[in-house]
Structure 1
Amino acid sequence: MSENKKIEKITGVKGMNDILPDDAPLWELFENTVQSVLKSYGFQQIRTPIVESTHLFARGLGEVTDIVEKEMYSFEDALNGDKLTLRPENTAGIVRAAVEHNLTYEGPKRVWYTGPMFRHEKPQRGRYRQFHQVGAEALGFSGPDIDAELIVMCQRLWDDLGLQNIRLELNSIGDAPERNQHRADLIAYFESHKELLDAEASRRLYSNPLRILDTKNPAMQAMVNSAPKLFDYLGEESKAHFEGIQKILRDNSIPFTINTRLVRGMDYYNRTVFEWVTDELGSQGTVCGGGRYDTLFSIFGGKATPACGFAMGVERLLELMKASGEAHNPAQCDVYLVHQGEQGRAQSFVLGERLRDAGLDVVLHCASAAGAGSFKSQMKKADASGAAYAAIIGDDEANGDTVTIKSMRDLDINNNQVNVPFSSAVDYLVDQMTGASETDACCDDPNHIHIHH
């Protein structure tokens, strides 16, 4: 290759974003909060593959849905010819796993998941080709109480994340016989107004007329508003179920609006459907959506099992957290190790391992392309790391078998460092950290001292 030939830089796939180290703390805050809330309601985590059989989504979501028709990343396995798809959502995969492994054999299950989903859409704010969701699925529960619990759980999560201006829209789309009668009348109504239908609505008229109700076309709004409402076709059981949800929400002071035009994009829903929406994200205003899907187990060849769930868009919620002023920049470490000379570097390595054994988070200054770094530049790195303390081992400390410990957050510059014997440095730092801060009671490892700065 010619030395003058410029090597082309490879960039990421459009609409599939890197999550850089500066972004990670906010993700971690979100994920930890989600896990805490879901655990408090008895949900257990489940992890399913990101690749599933294409047939799973065609059968479960509906072959005439936008997702299946236009948005899925599907391919043929070059080794055996299997038709596979990167998951565009995860409810179908959860139910597939539940049927395959008899997950509800011993009774109902509450499960939750998190991970990337994939849809081939035009990238824009809040809509990406690889995006992340957190979802919860309650499998085997039939009453309105579980529908309401999922909604109340979402409200608790918004509160714990400090999010406001998210409102709940609620509807019932009934059961299959009710929807079938409404569907016939809806098609007849739209046929009588064919001249007002746009191309997309005309395409959906006989395949998925319910989605026409969700149109954003201003020219169709008046006509759609006068269309037969599915809500008026609900039978006594569907109405009682919906009233039961509303009562629990009112008892728990959860405000909501009944939106009779609310439908979900997947075919598997029945009865309850809901969305949490905001006006702060432009056109991508839905941050969480879900509902009941009592027929999906049967569709996948399992025993008829009632179920309900939701999925929330992580990127959209992080946008709201940023807009609300949420800044989460925790320290990279508790202690930053600064050293000079070969002996100082060697002793810093030993001290670092001992501090980690004691449960502290430690960063050891290592040489970069620019060199080992002066004492001054290392102290700048220590300050930028957010560490509570710098442990310094220079020539004097190495020769005297001591460590200078400097408080990086003490404003009293005349009383912010001390020289201690090397053998006492770990005990001194642990005492200082635990004495000045609280121990994280949520940590799974009782020996790990995670400090709140």
Structure 2
Amino acid sequence: MAKNIQAIRGMNDYLPGETAIWQRIEGTLKNVLGSYGYSEIRLPIVEQTPLFKRAIGEVTDVVEKEMYTFEDRNGDSLTLRPEGTAGCVRAGIEHGLLYNQEQRLWYIGPMFRHERPQKGRYRQFHQLGCEVFGLQGPDIDAELIMLTARWWRALGISEHVTLELNSIGSLEARANYRDALVAFLEQHKEKLDEDCKRRMYTNPLRVLDSKNPEVQALLNDAPALGDYLDEESREHFAGLCKLLESAGIAYTVNQRLVRGLDYYNRTVFEWVTNSLGSQGTVCAGGRYDGLVEQLGGRATPAVGFAMGLERLVLLVQAVNPEFKADPVVDIYLVASGADTQSAAMALAERLRDELPGVKLMTNHGGGNFKKQFARADKWGARVAVVLGESEVANGTAVVKDLRSGEQTAVAQDSVAAHLRTLLG
């Protein structure tokens, strides 16, 4: 007997019982994006490897340890995308979307990182990302945060996420701060773990978000990033904070908040939760005004964020059990008796024409009425439409409310109108 082939570790199947809640959550997210005037862009999952090395930074954990990279048959180095911003910028440059234009884009799909799989963190994971190009003021930063806050309200999780903000300044200001931080860390090198010692020279800002309690205690005495900000970054951050306060969005300034990718400047933010065990990031982003030029385009201000959908689904299920998947089936068409199946299928097609958007499933595989009603219940149908031999003969159907048990014989020409009333 042949050995079963299983899914790759950390790359999961999502079965029909799971995808229904995903679809409802994704539908909610997309509706909000549409209400803000954002447009979808669809991007390839494979890109040339140099794109990510140039965008993310060669000494980041993502590039050094986590990318799925391979050579194709032509000898070109290709990589499964570990994040979406670089590909979105590449597409914007390639198709002339960015120069002297304002773009508000979103994308959704799988990303890939070779990490240790754990709850909410997988090797293939799904992100929804949002990127805005051509706008440099703090008002668009605020709009993105307000958009995410609207998501949390729509999903019923507002009380379980908190917003952390920081400004990491201009590239020049950050370079000055990096020098001061490295000088401080060198004085206390014996207190650093091996990972922080390595990062101290390759990507010292990442030491700030070390999870090591001893390192965090040491950082209480480290130079503060806020003391090194340039004046323009200070004004930009103050403007953002004022806009959020006017919108009633609470936030905490976290001066140790940096992002794991090298392309960020000025605004960085994260929405975090404690409702999934240890604190986890639900959504994160910031401003990356230098990335378009870094990837070969003309200098273009840009800001965006990405959200992990696996973690979002877990959070919604954990704190808002009332947010349920839409039913797979609204109406189940039951047919029993000689020559009723063709009449049932014809009626089903007619009802689909007259009731667009309603989910109607026709019974197949036979079975008596009892078995068919059990199937209707299994699929979560609210209403059954029943055809037997007598109904076919006299041009009627029985419409049964499966919640109340009430049923009514209706002329087939009137079934759609009756269902419309019953389903509201």
What range describes the TM-score normalised by the shorter chain of this pair?
A: over 0.9
- Using the TM superposition, give the Cα deviation of residue 342 of structure 1 relative to its aligned residue in structure 2, in angstroms: 4.4
Report whether the alignment pairs 1:430 with 2:403.
no
The aligned counterpart of 2:297 is 302
* Structure 2 letter corresponding to 1:184: D
Judging changes above 3 Å, is the alpha-carbon distance between structure 1 residues 284 and 91 closer, same or farther for their aligned structure 2 residues? farther
* Structure 2 letter corresponding to 1:417: Q
Structure 1, residues 301-352: CA drift from partner, whole Å, max 9, x if none? 0000000001111111111111122341433223211112341111111111
The aligned counterpart of 1:349 is 345
The aligned counterpart of 2:361 is 363
Report whether the alignment pairs 1:7 with 2:5.
no
Match of 1:89 among 66, 83, 87: 83
* Structure 1 letter corresponding to 2:421: G
Contact 2:20 2:325 in 1 (8 A): yes
In structure 2, the residue corresponding to 1:289 is in which secondary structure?
A: strand
- Using the TM superposition, give the Cα deviation of residue 387 of structure 1 relative to its aligned residue in structure 2, in angstroms: 2.2
Structure 1, residues 60-93: CA drift from partner, whole Å, max 9, x if none? 000010100111111111x211111111100001
Match of 2:335 among 325, 335, 339: 339
Structure 1, residues 209-247: CA drift from partner, whole Å, max 9, x if none? 111111111122221221112210011111000100000
- Using the TM superposition, give the Cα deviation of residue 284 of structure 1 relative to its aligned residue in structure 2, in angstroms: 5.6
* Structure 2 letter corresponding to 1:431: A
1:256 and 1:158 map into 2 onto residues whose CA distance is 14
Report whether the alignment pairs 1:186 with 2:181.
yes
Report whether the alignment pairs 1:47 with 2:42.
yes
The aligned counterpart of 2:239 is 244
Structure 1, residues 233-283: CA drift from partner, whole Å, max 9, x if none? 011111000100000011111111110000000000001100000111234
What does 1:368-407 correspond to in 2, within 5 Å? 372-407=366-401
The aligned counterpart of 1:420 is 410
Judging changes above 3 Å, is the alpha-carbon distance between structure 1 residues 383 and 116 closer, same or farther for their aligned structure 2 residues? same
Give unpaired runs (5+ residues) of structure 2.
none
Judging changes above 3 Å, is the alpha-carbon distance between structure 1 residues 178 and 198 closer, same or farther for their aligned structure 2 residues? same
Report whether the alignment pairs 1:293 with 2:288.
yes
* Structure 1 letter corresponding to 2:134: G
Contact 2:155 2:323 in 1 (8 A): no
Please, what TM-score do these two structures have when normalized by structure 1? Answer: 0.90
Match of 2:204 among 199, 209, 213: 209
Contact 1:127 1:284 in 2 (8 A): no
2:201 and 2:411 map into 1 onto residues whose CA distance is 82
In structure 2, the residue corresponding to 1:127 is in which secondary structure?
A: coil
2:174 and 2:55 map into 1 onto residues whose CA distance is 17
In structure 2, the residue corresponding to 1:142 is in which secondary structure?
A: coil
Contact 2:99 2:298 in 1 (8 A): no
The aligned counterpart of 1:101 is 95
In structure 2, the residue corresponding to 1:168 is in which secondary structure?
A: strand
Contact 2:100 2:134 in 1 (8 A): no
In structure 1, the residue corresponding to 2:340 is in which secondary structure?
A: helix
2:133 and 2:41 map into 1 onto residues whose CA distance is 13
The aligned counterpart of 1:118 is 112
In structure 1, the residue corresponding to 2:50 is in which secondary structure?
A: helix
2:367 and 2:45 map into 1 onto residues whose CA distance is 44
The aligned counterpart of 2:402 is 408
Judging changes above 3 Å, is the alpha-carbon distance between structure 1 residues 16 and 56 closer, same or farther for their aligned structure 2 residues? same
The aligned counterpart of 1:444 is none
What does 1:260-271 correspond to in 2, within 5 Å? 260-271=255-266
What does 1:16-27 correspond to in 2, within 5 Å? 16-27=11-22
Judging changes above 3 Å, is the alpha-carbon distance between structure 1 residues 165 and 389 closer, same or farther for their aligned structure 2 residues? closer
Q: Number of aligned residue pairs: give it.
A: 420
1:243 and 1:20 map into 2 onto residues whose CA distance is 46
1:430 and 1:122 map into 2 onto residues whose CA distance is 53
Please, what TM-score do these two structures have when normalized by structure 2? Answer: 0.96
